Each structure stands twice: as structure tokens, then as C-alpha cells.
Amino acid sequence: MTTTTTPTGVAPRRTADEDRALAEHPIVRVVACGSVDDGKSTLIGRLLAETESVPDDILDYARNTRRSGSTIPKGEVDFSMLTDGLEAEHEQGITIDVAYRHLYLPSGRRAIIADAPGHEQYTRNMAVAASTADIAILLVDATRGIRPQTHRHLTVCALMGVRTVIVAINKLDAVGFEHVAFEELAGGVRSAAARFDLEEVDVIPVSALTGDNVIDRSTQMPWYHGPTVLEALTSWQPAASEDTNVVPFRLPVQYVVRADDFRGYAGTVVGGTVRPGDKVVVNAKGGSTIVERVLVGGEEVDEAHAGTAVVVTVETETDVTRGDLLVAPAEGLAADHYPRPASAFAADLVWTGEEELRHGRSYLLLAGGLAVPAVVTAIRGRRDVVSGEEMAGRTLKMNDIGHVEIATDTAVPLDPYAVSRDTGGFLLVERVSRDTVAAGLVRHSLRRAHNVTPHAFTVDQDARALLKGQRPRVLWLTGVPGAGKSTIADALERKLHGMGLHTYVLDGDGVRTGLNKDLGFTPEDRAENVRRVAETAKLMVDAGLIVIVSLVSPFRGDRRAAKGLFQEGDFLEVWVDTPSDVVVERDPKGLYAKAKAGTLPNMTGVGQGYEPPEKPDLVVQGSGELDDAVNQLLDALEVTH
């Protein structure tokens, strides 16, 4: 990185190219990251205070308030107080949430700095801050060296598309400003950064506490001749590949504006430029039209660039709704520059959920205005953040970074993240709690997503059901082992068969001898077991059958995902509720005896928990009379008996 500022941080006369970059990129977004207690808040606070970017009253507060255990005398500024705003942060002396602060650079550009938490448990907050950052300031404590969290944050920055990293080796005052100590750490960081396609990495020796090489050049380190942190920030210019105007036009539609004789589509342009007369494609649906007017703040304009909130109108009546993506047409563009709607993607995930990822479980994928059910169908690898190696893995734990394959219920238009951070990133959200469990980055759509097109056959489910004279449905019996599910399913099917109805039983042990013989009993395998059985039941319902599923299916999320595959009313969740002493006494397969002996570690109700349905469609007493249970189920199916 070439610095263009003086040692005092005062910008010299700008070149024409710098003036152009400043006009097109007036705001630079910065994420400050690194391990806990490495001095991020102090460094940022000093940058803010010494560039006069904070109001006097806040500076007075930092001068006269001390957190517990602080050794900084009152009257001197505690710079860390300028960014840590939460009471809990003051009490614990750590950063918990991302704090955003405005920094005024000598060049006239404004920087928005995100102070990201260093604790591993808050990696999700750091990832969110990195997702919009142009520059990362990665701090390394010279007294503690490079730690796993240093590698993790560097990895997240690279994944999130942060192309410029300023590595601040902090607390050089604590190691006597030794050149050797700095070079050893700088070499380690450069070696780690070399694994990623990072365009610029500056390593700067710093003492945030004493101010060395933060704003002004240090007199303590005459062996260093590079920029200070402020100089590195000030001289930054976006690389050509980061110029959003080289990305073809992209407008995620956030809102449809309707009024008398007016229909427009509102959103923020995230790539390219739009002008009246431009041809655009409604990406998810494939139709094209011509832009009629472009409105910014209610006024018609000749063109609008990336980052501008607009309302566009089109010349023809076109089906455009919230969540659609208006894009430039594909003519003359490489395939990677045109987000073809797809239902399967290869992606990188930063897993932030407290529970492990369970492939086969349904989550919500959120991208712009899109919200569609999605399933992680395969985990292709997990990245060791220290060595950078891709390792085998069957699941992802909190803060793991992995390479996965994702399938969505409907085709969605997503770009590769390398093309557009705005239309190539997504979140995975747990469907009930609405907790965000992962930040995702699309690598590319999978070829099979474009090669598979369901055929609309003439004979459908309704026709098959009419021929059989019955309503196809699924009765999903869930309960702990020994609850009596299979016994009830067998008696119910015999009754239905005798009535001339067409049925099939999908029993847990039965599917594990064939379709699911490759699965074990871990929570991840159980999720996949439920997914496959639910998909099989869906095909059978489409064939017009009444399907009785007898499956422990211990987790609510898995059963909920199964129900989500069916039309309203076609899936009935039935809880076979049987007292624990009864099931242990029955023990028809000897499972409880094995669990008690310690030879069956994943036994539901013993080694693993069972989550009873919260709002089942029906509760059947597994310890009651068998005929009563069967009659309850016949009533639920609305068949005469």
C-alpha cells in the first residue's frame, strides 16, 4: 500500500485519480478485529480522539470515568471507553456487541469503524461486521503472539470479501519496541495471509496505549519506515475489482410502490448503473422489460449508481414482487455475471448456532427480500482455521467454517459472492426460534440445479386419489422406543385395509434396513433419517395412499421440517404418549436393557433426549386399549368405522 500522507497525518494535494476515488467511494467501511484483550477498543478510541471525531462531552466522559480495575489515572482519556458503550462491557472489560463509530480522515473521506468483539462466542457479530467492510484492522498482541482467534478472524475476513488487511502488531511498548519481536510476528501473519487471495496486507508495529504509529510516526521504532495506521486508512483506494460499477446492474426489490396510475419497484442499487431505456430482467421469473423512469428521492434522474436508493418504473405490465431481483440482461456477460435462478448451491458457512448444524434439517435462507426454506444436503469439509487445511466433517459446531451444499425449496437468483457481496451472501435462520445460525457465501450454483426440471404429468395426486376413493394423508406417529407406535400402526393398517382403503406403513426399523441403512443414530443422522422418510411419504401421498409413519423422530425441528413438505391438513402429527415405566418394562427390542448396560449410547430417552410435540394434532395413550387408539386415528382420518 502506498501512503500519500505526511507523518503528521495531514493529507497533501490529492491526485486526479484520488479525487475520482474519493468522489465514487466517499465512505470506507472498516472492521477492527482480533483476539480478546489485544487492544482494539484502545486503538480505535485513540484514532477517534486524535482526529477530533468524537464530541467533547464523550471525551470528557472517557477522561473522568473508569471501569473496574482500570489503571489509567483519572484526567487522562481511557480510549477504550469511547467504543465500549454497554454497561456489561464496562463491567467485564470486554467488547460484547459491535460498536460503529465515524472517523474523519485527513483526505476528507469518512470511515465507519466497526469494533468487533474478540471473544470466540461472539464470532457471529464479527462476521456480520466483516460482511460489509472494505478494510480490516487485525490486531495481534505482541506479548501473546498469534492466537487461534487471530487465524479465525483472518479467515472470516477473507471469506467475507475483505481484500485489504492492516495488521497492527500492538503493545510493542511491552516488548521494548524490539524489531526482532515484531518481525517474528509479522512473518507469521504474512504466512497465514498468504493462504488467502488478499490483495493488500500491511503489517504495522503499534502501541495503541502510547500512540506509537497510530497517528504519528514513532520515535521509538526508527527501524520501521512504513505508514501509520491512520496513513494506511487514508491512502486506501478501492481496487478495480471492488468498484461496484463493474458489477452488472442489480436491484433487489424491497417494496412495491402502488398508487393511482403508478406502480414502481423500490430498493437500493447494489451493482452497476440503471438508466431510463435500459433493458432489465426479472431474474427469478425470467421475463424482461424496459426501464421507464428512475426516481431518487421522488425526483426523476438520468441514471442511478450502486448504493443509491431508487424507485424504478417499467414500460410493460410485469410480474415483479418483493424479493425479486432486477438485473441487467446476460448478453455479452460471462455466465458467472448472471445469477440464473437455481435451487442448489455450493457455499461456505460460518456456523454461529449454539446447536450443531444438522444436515437434512430445514432452515430459512434469507437473502435481500428473499426468505425460502433450505436444507444443507451435504457437508463437504471443515476448515482448520490455524493450518488452513480442509478437513473431513459430518457437522459444524459454533464458529466452525465449512464448505457445504444447500438445496432450496424454490429456485432463487444468487450471485457467486466473489461477483457481488450483496447478492451472493445469505443467512440461515432457525425456523421457529428465528435465531440466525449461519452466515453463508455462495461459491456457485450446482449444475444439477439447472439440469433438473420437474415434468408436469397429466395424472396428478387428485386424479389418483379420486380413482382410489380416498383422501391421501400422512399420520406421523412419534414417541419414545417401546411406546407402541408400530403396534398401533399395524392395527390401524389392518383396519383400513379391511375397509378397502389403500395404505402403506413406513416403520423406523424397516427403513433402516434399506433406504437408510447408511445412517447412524447421531442427531445429524436422525435428521437425515426423518428427511428421507418424509420425502418418501410425500411421494406416496402423491400416489394417493394413506401413509402411516412409525418413527421415534425425537427432535421437534426435524418433525416440523417434515410437516413443511405437505399441504395444510395432509400431515397429522400424532404423539404416542406412554409412561416411561411402561416402555422400560415392555422393552420389546431389548434396547433399554442395552442402554442400561452402557452398550447403546444414543438411545432416545436415555442417552439422547426426546422432545415431545408441543402442539400435536392428536395424542394417543400408548398404555391404553389398542382399539381406542385405532378408533381415535380413524376419526382423525375422517373415515367411517
Share of the chain above pLDDT 90, in %: 40
* Termini Cα distance of the chain: 82
Handedness of CA 161, 165, 168, 169 (dihedral sign): positive
Residue 13 has pLDDT above 80, yes or no: no
Per-residue DSSP letter, 248? P
The pLDDT-based confidence of 4 (bands split at 50, 70, 90) is very low
Size of the chain, expressed as the number of residues it contains: 641
pLDDT for 35 equals 87
pLDDT for 450 equals 66
Considering only residues 186 and 12, tell me which one the structure prediction assigns the higher pLDDT.
186
Tell how far CA 570 is from the center of its chain. Answer: 32
pLDDT for 141 equals 94
Residue 403 has pLDDT above 90, yes or no: yes
Residue 640 has pLDDT above 70, yes or no: yes
For 79-110, what is each residue's pLDDT tens digit? Answer: 877 776 555 555 555 555 667 888 888 888 88
Residue-averaged pLDDT of the chain:
84
Three-state SS at 419: coil
Across the strands, what pairs with 265?
256, 312
pTM: 0.70
pLDDT for 7 equals 39
Considering only residues 4 and 548, tell me which one the structure prediction assigns the higher pLDDT.
548
Contact status, residue 313 vs residue 410, Cβ threshold 8 Å:
no
Considering only residues 448 and 92, tell me which one the structure prediction assigns the higher pLDDT.
448
Which residues touch 25 (CB under 8 Å, ≥6 apart)? Answer: 109, 134, 237, 238
Residues noted as catalytic: 553
Element housing 189 (H / E): helix 179-193
pLDDT for 131 equals 83
For 455-484, what is each residue's pLDDT tens digit? Answer: 888 899 999 999 999 999 999 999 998 899
Contact status, residue 136 vs residue 158, Cβ threshold 8 Å:
no
**Across 373-393, average pLDDT:** 85
The pLDDT-based confidence of 298 (bands split at 50, 70, 90) is confident
For 278-295, what is each residue's pLDDT tens digit? Answer: 988 887 566 788 999 999
The C-alpha angle 399, 402, 408, rounded to 5 degrees, equals 110
